[in-house]
């Protein structure tokens, strides 16, 4: 490491509500010389960063996505110039965030870095929607899975039958487009068609929306509600908690 | 709801580092009339709450654990007295935190509440230890599972064979004591004995420790390192990232 080099902070932004940033993330955003980000941290968090400090690596000028190699190299370049660099990722950098790849690139180039975890949307979304992910008596595990795998992979590595067999709650990230495919796969694997399912669009953003159905009808629920990405899908008996609580609140005191 | 009633905030503390509290959690702790907590938020976060505002519901006077029913009733009672009540949970209230049960109890009694998600230790621990939970090319899911189920349950509902079959990363919470049992179950399910495993004790606390081994030898690694609860266990190829990065950092620039 060169002592004139700056440091790169791989920072999770959480789900989008600025109040759900960690104290550490907020401090680092205030002190950063430059912040590399994409669209996932959401408009409120990105909007609070002075424009002259921001670099959007989610899209390039021509509308194409910036490739990971460019981002990796840019992080090294900015650090070598002595900057205090924040690489801001939606949710947590290590939960479907490609933060691991960036960390390895920095380490390989001798750049000092720190990982600052953030609240993943599959935790925060169900949280604010009133859906506990586990239950002491009847749900002992929760799995997070991506609905949108690397399109260059020769075949899917997601084993939906195994996920169904865990008996735990399943939360699918980036799972709006492939909803018909994986709900069908889960039904084929023996999951009950009346298993409750929730779609949480833009979790914790001011325009958050929640739509609830079952494994059998959630695709038409999605279409009628016009749910669009980004959203998380929650699958399991725990989803029914939300409706129970809403009914109780509507009914007043017992 | 009675308009003189207070509000209960079910707040996740995150893993224990006060800097990893959310901005919202820190504000609520500052403004609370009373904070009900157990030991899991850790000494630094609990120590920063004025003693006269704290109620420890983790242990009762006699050393026994407070039962959930007592906590539920106490939340209602404090709210009815008009208090601004924070129920502070280690990690996230809805990830093995029994927050769902407390929310349902509050709703059934017509008490206003808000859920404030927090960083779960199975996310933050691997994060600060340099272990990404997923990898775009070779890990498309991550499962969180409890190693310590409700002892009153007639039989375990954790299907270790199904978890192994997902091919994803597995993170076990409260899994120090039962490590021999579930590592054996995963091996019996066909998981390779050389699968890397990390134990992260007191993740993000000042005295955090990490011990690394394989599915075959992690029990003796635990014993030699004297790893004690609270700790999370991370099982999967992603664990090898940590060693690679540490070697690269030790080796200097390429």
pLDDT in tens, B67-98: 889 999 999 999 999 999 999 999 999 999 89
Element (H, E) at B172: strand B169-173
Report B:106-145 residues touching A (Cβ under 8 A).
Answer: 107-110, 115-120, 123-124, 126-128, 130-145
- Over residues A180-188, mean pLDDT: 96
C-beta atoms surrounding A79 within 10 Å: 24
Which among A7, A27, A121, A142 is the top mutation candidate for probing chain B, defined by the most B β-carbons within 10 Å of its own β-carbon? A142
pLDDT at A207: 94
* β-bridge pairing A196-201 and A231-235: antiparallel
State whether residue A176 sits within 8 Å of chain B by CB: no
pLDDT computed for residue B249 by the predictor: 86
Q: Is the pLDDT of residue B215 over 80?
A: yes
In the annotation, is A59 catalytic? Answer: yes
Q: Which two tokens stand for residue A219?
A: 């695709």
Please tell me the distance from the alpha carbon of residue B112 to that of residue B83, in angstroms, as a whole number: 11
| A-to-B residue pairs, Cβ atoms closer than 8 angstroms | 235
Closest CA of chain A from B25, distance in Å: 8
For chain A, the distance separating the N- and C-terminal CA atoms, rounded to the nearest angstrom, is 65
d(CA A55, CA B234): 34
State the first-to-last Cα distance of chain B, in angstroms, to the nearest integer. Answer: 65
- B252 band by pLDDT with thresholds 50, 70 and 90: low
B123, B150, B166 member nearest A120 (Cβ): B123
Q: What residues in A contact B150, CB-CB < 8 Å?
A: 136-137
As separate numbers, helices (DSSP H) first and strands (DSSP E) second, chain B gives 9, 10
Contact A1, A188 (CB under 8 A): no
pLDDT tens column, B127-144: 999 999 999 888 999 999
Q: What DSSP string describes B210-244?
A: EEEEETTTHHHHHHHHT--SSEEEEESGGGHHHHH
pLDDT band, residue B254 (cuts 50/70/90): very low
- How many whole angstroms separate alpha carbon B191 and alpha carbon A63? 43
CB of B194 less than 8 A from some CB of A = no
Q: Which of A26-40, A155-169, B7-21, B231-245 has the lowest mean pLDDT?
A: A155-169
Tens digits of residue pLDDT in A57-98: 986 555 566 688 999 999 999 999 999 999 999 999 999 989
pLDDT of residue B61: 53
Whether A232 contacts chain B with CB within 8 A: no
pLDDT at A254: 45
Q: What is the pLDDT of residue B63?
A: 57
CA distance B120 to A145: 17
Cα B169 to Cα B95: distance, rounded to the nearest angstrom: 17
**CB-CB neighbors (< 8 A) of A252 in chain B:** 1, 110
- Looking at every residue in chain A, the average pLDDT score rounds to 93
Quote the tokens at residue A150. 């690397």
Within 8 A of B168 by CB-CB distance, chain A residues are: 143, 145
Give the mean pLDDT of chain B. Answer: 93
Taking an 8 Å cut-off on Cβ atoms, the answer to whether B133 and A94 are in contact is yes
Q: Label residue B163 by pLDDT band (50, 70, 90).
A: very high
Collapsing DSSP to helix, strand or coil, A36 comes out as: strand
Neighbours of A203 (CB within 10 A): 30
| Closest to B144 measured CA to CA, from A169, A186, A84, A243 | A169
The CA distance from A192 to A214, in Å, is: 9
Q: Do A101 and B24 touch (CB under 8 A)?
A: no
Predicted confidence at residue B146, as pLDDT, reads 94
Cβ contact, residue pair A123, B123, below 8 Å = yes
pLDDT 10s digits, B4-61: 899 999 999 999 999 999 999 999 999 999 999 999 999 999 999 999 999 999 865 5
pLDDT band at B1 (very low <50, low <70, confident <90, very high): low
Interatomic CA distance for residues B89 and B41, integer angstroms: 6
- Which letter does DSSP use for residue A66 in this model? P
Average pLDDT on A13-28 reads 98
Whether A159 has its CB under 8 Å from any CB of chain B: the answer is yes
> Which A-chain residues 17-76 have CB contacts (< 8 A) with chain B?
17-24, 26-27
pLDDT at A61: 53
pLDDT computed for residue A94 by the predictor: 97
CB contacts of A20 in chain B (<8 Å) are 22-24, 117
Instruction: Using a CB–CB cutoff of 8 Å, tell me whether A168 touches chain B.
Output: yes
Q: Cβ contacts (< 8 Å) between A2 and chain B: which residues?
A: 253
Q: Residues 6 or more apart from A47 whose CB is under 8 A from it?
A: none
The pLDDT of residue B243 is above 80:
yes
pLDDT, residue A67, reads 86
Q: Residue B170 pLDDT > 50, yes or no?
A: yes
Chain B residues with beta carbon closer than 8 angstroms to that of A143: 141-144, 166, 168
CB within 8 Å: A136 and B101: yes
Catalytic residue (choose from A33, A59, A67, A194): A59
Q: Do A103 and B142 touch (CB under 8 A)?
A: no
B92 → chain A, closest CA residue: A123
Global pTM reads 0.95
Q: Which residue do the tokens 């070697």 mark?
A: B247
| Segment A102-120 mean pLDDT | 97
What DSSP state is assigned to residue A19? G
Given CA atoms B180, B185, B188, B193 in this order, what sign does their dihedral have? negative
Interchain proximity B141–A141, CB inside 8 Å: no
Question: What confidence category does residue A130 fall into, taking pLDDT thresholds of 50, 70 and 90?
Answer: very high
Inter-axis angle of helices A99-108 and B240-251, to 10 degrees?
20
Confidence of residue A252 (pLDDT cuts 50, 70, 90): low
**Is B236 an 8 Å CB contact of chain A?**
no
């Amino acid at each position: 490491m060169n002592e004139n080099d700056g440091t790169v902070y791989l920072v999770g932004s959480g789900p989008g509500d600025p109040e759900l940033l960690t104290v550490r993330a907020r401090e680092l955003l205030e002190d950063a010389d430059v912040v590399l980000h994409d669209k996932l941290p959401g408009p409120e968090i990105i909007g609070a960063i002075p424009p002259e400090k921001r670099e959007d690596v989610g899209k390039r000028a021509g509308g194409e996505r910036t490739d990971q190699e460019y981002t990796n190299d840019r992080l090294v370049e900015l650090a070598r110039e002595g900057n205090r660099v924040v690489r801001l990722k939606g949710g947590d950098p290590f939960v479907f965030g490609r933060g691991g790849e960036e960390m390895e690139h920095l380490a390989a180039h001798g750049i000092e870095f720190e990982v600052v975890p953030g609240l993943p949307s599959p935790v925060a979304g169900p949280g604010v929607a009133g859906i506990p992910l586990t239950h002491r008596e009847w749900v002992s595990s929760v799995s997070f899975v991506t609905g949108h795998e690397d399109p260059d992979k020769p075949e899917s590595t997601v084993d939906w039958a195994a996920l169904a067999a865990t008996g735990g709650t399943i939360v699918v990230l980036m799972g709006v487009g492939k909803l018909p495919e994986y709900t069908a796969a889960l039904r084929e694997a023996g999951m009950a068609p009346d298993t409750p399912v929730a779609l949480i669009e833009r979790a914790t953003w001011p325009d958050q929306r929640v739509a609830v159905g079952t494994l059998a009808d959630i695709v038409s629920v999605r279409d009628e509600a016009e749910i669009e990405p980004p959203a998380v899908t929650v699958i399991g008996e725990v989803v029914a908690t939300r409706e129970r609580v809403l009914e109780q609140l509507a009914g007043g005191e017992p």
